[in-house]
Amino acid sequence: MELKDVEAACFDNPAVKDVVVVVSNDAHGHDYLVAYVVLYSQALKQSSAGFRAMLKEKLPEYMIPALVVFMDALPLTPNCKIDRQALPTPTLDNVETIVAPRTEIEKQLVEIWTAVLGVQIGIHQNFFESGGNSLRAALLLNRLSQAFPVELSLDCLFKSPTIAGLAEVIEAVRSSGSTAIFETNSADLSADAVLDETIHPFTITRFRPKHIFLTGATGFVGAFLLHELLLHHPQATIYCLVRADNLETATSRLRSTLQNYEIWEKEFSRRIIPIIGDLSKPFLGLSTPNFSELADIVEVIYHCGAYVNLVYPYTALRDANVGGTKEILRLATMTKITPVHYISTLDIFQASNYDGMKLIAETDDLLSAEGYSDGYAQSKWVAEKLVMAARNRGLPVSIYRLGMVTGHSKTGAFQLSNTICLIIKGLIQLGYGPELDIKMNLAPVDYIVQAVRYLSHQPESFNKTFHVLSPHVLTMNELILNLNTLGYVLPSIPYPQWQAKLLNMSPDNALTPMVSLFMKKINNSQKTFIETTSFVCQKFDDRNTQDGLVATDIICPPINHSVLNAYLSYFRRQGFL
């Protein structure tokens, strides 16, 4: 991990005047990042949690500073270099609000949380807003299982992310002997999948749009979809939902995202209008009048935004992925019918209900909410049920289910926190590849957005579902062989031996946040999570997609030696390798 990359992401915030990121250690010798930030004005000061939320849009989780310390100026040596030894010991932003523990359980929890986070913490402070992440959460749960005779899940921590709340959970579990009441179950998902009766279409809009609304434009697929729409709708204005404190920051984030993917053109600036909001908030974080005005202006909606995390539970993803979709459907029916193009995922079939199915068709109904092993798939199942409910009420909706999306096949531009990116970098860092019999279905992002854009322009596409994936497969063995031919020496070893090396690798390895994907057994089987994901194992029908593209030159390229070389070149240009 390059600290300069983290500092560069901090500088993308126009409020930042100066910054230095350092590696600190907690009392148990565990490393974590601290960002010391100087702002142009104290009036621009934001919370540490808010600053970290901005960085989550740009960096993989393991590169997010655990703490952000705001300073008037960075200390300098006589040679005018940053004096790292003089940097203050990191503390929480709101130390003055720390509330002391009241019970013996809370006292124990304060000791454990302080040890894990490396800073003093009160009983009402949120774990995830105080430097906690998925890795620290796993460490915390391990410490809790040693200190208390209970087994708590990550779901429990997200539902009760404070010491005061978790103390109540521990007391309740001690009394009942079960954590079931705190776990997300299929009944919870089914209840969330009921669409509000007020979301109902009643008039029609024009088909050829000049005002387009796009969510997820600061994400990977969303950025390339924005670029594709700008190129093929030269007269259109595109309104992009962006989470930011002000218009200047929102504009900067959009421009920076496109620049990072090497697709920015100066003339785009006059046709992109940032809408400051938040998918996880009612009315997308807008006032009711502004929400209604937006609904009246836009003529088509591309809902690409989502919180993608394969480790966090449903509870952590619900507001953005389920609540956000519900608000998009509300927007589409607020003042008129506005067609919706919803970007979904093939992960919705990542449940035991689909085991043994030889072919999953685009026309197949979704089965029940049971049998899912991760919160992301659960959240997308619920969101898609809501979209289908709106479609049944008369809203023109097209659903595009994507598999694993990789970088641009020509330029190599890639989201560096993408699973495949981290796997490639992690394999190179580890120096070994696994003998793992999996076939990965990987589709370059340029094919994905070309297909979505073209299909969305066809009137016959409305009310259809499309599986947008590659007809080609890349085996793990082929990936490792290609990396060897491209100059990275990676001997293949048996999977159990490779897993052992994984457990003993450096914490700086890019595979660190993904260890559970390669280790965790699914449904008491011998297969690990990585062997059961939708981009690996199942067979998907894509007849609607292929029929819709038959008269075009939009063809999915295979991930071959040439494409992988483009990816590696982009990694090196970005300092990722």
Beta-carbon count within 10 A of 557 CB: 15
Distance CA 355, CA 430 (A): 32
Q: What is the pLDDT of residue 14?
A: 77
Closest to 275 in 3D by CA, of 299, 252, 302, 246: 246
Task: Give the separation between CA 360 and CA 354, rounded to whole angstroms.
Answer: 8
Closest by CA position to 242, among listed 263, 264, 257: 257
pLDDT at 33: 82
Output the six-digit token pair for 296.
């009246």
Q: Is residue 77 exposed (0-12), middle (13-18) or buried (19+ Cβ within 10 Å)?
A: exposed
| Predicted local confidence at residue 27, as pLDDT | 54
C-alpha–C-alpha distance, residues 220 and 416, integer Å: 9
Looking up tokens 């990121």, which residue turns up?
A: 21
Beta strands in 191-321 (DSSP E): 211-215, 237-242, 272-276, 300-303
Looking at residue 98, what is its pLDDT? 66
Check: CB of residue 216 under 8 Å from CB of residue 415: no
Place of tokens 């979904």: 344
Per-residue exposure over 512-539, b if at least 16 CB sit within 10 Å of its own CB, e if not: bbbbebbeeebeeeeebbbbbbbbbbbe
Q: What is the pLDDT of residue 535?
A: 47
Which helix (H) or strand (E) is 574 found in, with range?
none
pLDDT, residue 96, reads 40
Whole-number Å distance between alpha carbons of 259 and 64? 21
Angle between helices 104-117 and 134-147 (to 10 degrees): 140
- The pLDDT of residue 95 is 38
CA–CA separation, 10 and 553 (whole Å): 41
Q: Across the 577 residues of the chain, what is the mean pLDDT of every consecutive 10-residue run? A: 78 84 69 83 67 75 79 85 83 54 81 76 75 74 78 78 81 70 71 76 62 95 96 92 89 92 92 94 92 94 91 88 95 93 92 82 87 87 93 93 94 90 92 87 95 92 92 90 93 89 84 73 54 57 94 94 95 90
Backbone angles phi, psi at 384, to 5 degrees: -70, -35
The predicted model scores a pTM of 0.74
Q: How many CB atoms lie within 10 A of CB 547?
A: 12
| Distance (Å, whole) CA 220 – CA 408 | 11
